[in-house]
Amino acid sequence: MPLHMTKIAFESESADDLRAWLEGHADAGEARLTTRYLPKRHEEMVGGSLYWIHAHRLVGRSPLLGFADRPDGRHWIRLAPTLIAVIPYPKRAHQGWRYLKEQDAPPDLGDDGEGDALPGAMAAELGKLGLL
């Protein structure tokens, strides 16, 4: 069971902005984020996902491809250039990244196989009301 991580979608006005940024890296095959420190449990995280926090809610996830060293001594978090919508789940903002266990991760929208995923704004509103 892979370990996941959470991170704030910094400078993203919406989940659509975040999706556009990620998909803008599709030609390269991966999107990269910079972090100062390599997670101690980085080997457990390959195959997991980075869950994005926007407006104090987990709104989506990007599969983690791995980590790589940068020439300046920092590290890249390598992500698949896609945003998979999840059922919005409350999550307080934090600096940097945090670990997220599989059992604490929200399910993907539409995982039950019933119909299409809800539009982001509708899912967010239903999440605020506690209906998702």
SS3 41: coil
Q: What is the structure's pLDDT at 115?
A: 39
Predicted local confidence at residue 98, as pLDDT:
93
Q: Which domains does the chain have, with CATH numbers?
A: 4-128 (3.10.590)
**What pLDDT does residue 132 have?**
58
d(C-alpha 15, C-alpha 56), whole Å: 12
What pLDDT does 93 receive? 85
The tens place of each residue's pLDDT in the chain, 132 residues long, gives 789 999 999 888 888 999 999 999 988 999 999 999 999 999 999 899 999 999 888 999 999 999 999 999 999 999 999 999 998 888 888 888 899 999 999 999 875 544 355 565 666 677 667 665
What per-residue confidence (pLDDT) applies to 2? Answer: 86
Nearest Cα neighbor of 62 from 10, 108, 123 is 108
What pTM was estimated for this model as a whole? 0.82
What is the rounded end-to-end Cα distance, in angstroms, of the chain? 25
pLDDT of residue 88: 86
